Amino acid sequence: MYKEVQQFLGQAWTAFQQLFTESLSSDIPLLDKANRFILEHGGKKLRPTFSLLIATALRGRCNEQVVSCAAASELLHTATLMHDDVADDAATRRGVPTARAMYSPTTAVLLGDFWLSRAMGLIIDHPDKRVLHIFSKCLGDLAEGEMLQLEKARRADATEADYRRIIYSKTTSLFESAMVSAAYSVDADAAQTEACRSYAYHIGQSFQMMDDILDYSPELSTGKPTGQDILEKKITLPLFCLFERVPKSVAREIRRRLRNPDAALVADVFGLVRQFDALAGARERLAGEVRQAIEALAPLPASEAKDYLVKLAGQMAVRTA
């Protein structure tokens, strides 16, 4: 689906790719080599896809400011992944070595800083200063979300409200920055801009919820190990749905064991999730987010781009990677 949308975007997608790649040029051999390695093993580029698609749905085309915001969103996203890999001691991502593993933790942090600086360089001269503000807010959200997650993992006392704030800060805020900055860039009116903000919010929440559901779905071939959230002491949507269905004493015991998680806890929790069908509750919440995302698009004019926004929202609930 994403490749189909990117083909639909045509010249706008080509312009994004060119700017994204050119933004990373450097005459320092180590930096240039590392950047090329990361570019060769990049992800689906969802955030710029949504950014360009929003502008196309609003105005039928993408201007230079939209392309700059799209590139900035992907640069910022990749920078945070490199920093996350250092924080998590991650050796692989998407089946290939991380920058941390290929080079060193120090190099990975500096790489992330470089990508971050290039992201801000693309938007600092944007004629609408709200764009700089929303990306700046996103950076703060990312740091706060990470710190809140660390605090709650240590205590194993996260509430669902904490969880919602964490996934907003760590995931949704960047989807919001990518799409709302696109709306600002094409001078969308207040109602349309708010529609884009609401759509981005529910897309971001649903994207992370699906990620969390997949971590509890060993029967699916996702290409990623499952049970990692438990081992990292993270209480996510499937576990909250399980807590609603088991006796309070069982929920308390799981929280107690989360302070020192192991493979036995993963096996026990997965067994309870199957027994009490907790993923059904998680998928019900996910479906609600997808439904609200689609409803948020009402103020946008009918178009092929809007149709793709609807389809991509639906994709959030069925993806397996």
Q: How far is CA 88 from the centre of its chain?
A: 17
320 lies in a domain? no
**Total domain count, the chain:** 1
248 lies in a domain? yes
H-type alpha helices, 186-277: 190-214, 228-231, 237-243, 248-258, 263-275
41 lies in a domain? yes
91 lies in a domain? yes
> If you average pLDDT over residues 306-316, what whole number do you get?
96
Q: Calculate what percentage of the chain has a pLDDT beyond 70.
A: 99
What is the per-residue pLDDT across 204-219, written as a single tens digit (0 to 9) for each? 999 999 999 999 998 8
pLDDT at 79: 93
235 lies in a domain? yes
What is the per-residue pLDDT across 157-167, written as a single tens digit (0 to 9) for each? 999 999 999 99
Q: Give the residue carrying structure tokens 């709200």.
A: 130
70 lies in a domain? yes
9 lies in a domain? yes
Residue type, 205: Q
321 lies in a domain? no
Give yes or no for a contact between 99 and 37, defined as CB atoms under 8 angstroms apart.
yes
CATH of the domain at 95: 1.10.600.10
C-alpha 229/C-alpha 220 separation (Å) is: 16
Q: Which range of residues forms the domain containing residue 245?
A: 2-315
Hey, what long-range contacts does 19-22 have (CB within 8 A, 24 or more apart)? 19/67, 19/68, 19/71, 19/122, 20/48, 20/71, 20/74, 20/75
Q: Is the pLDDT assigned to residue 256 strictly greater than 70?
A: yes
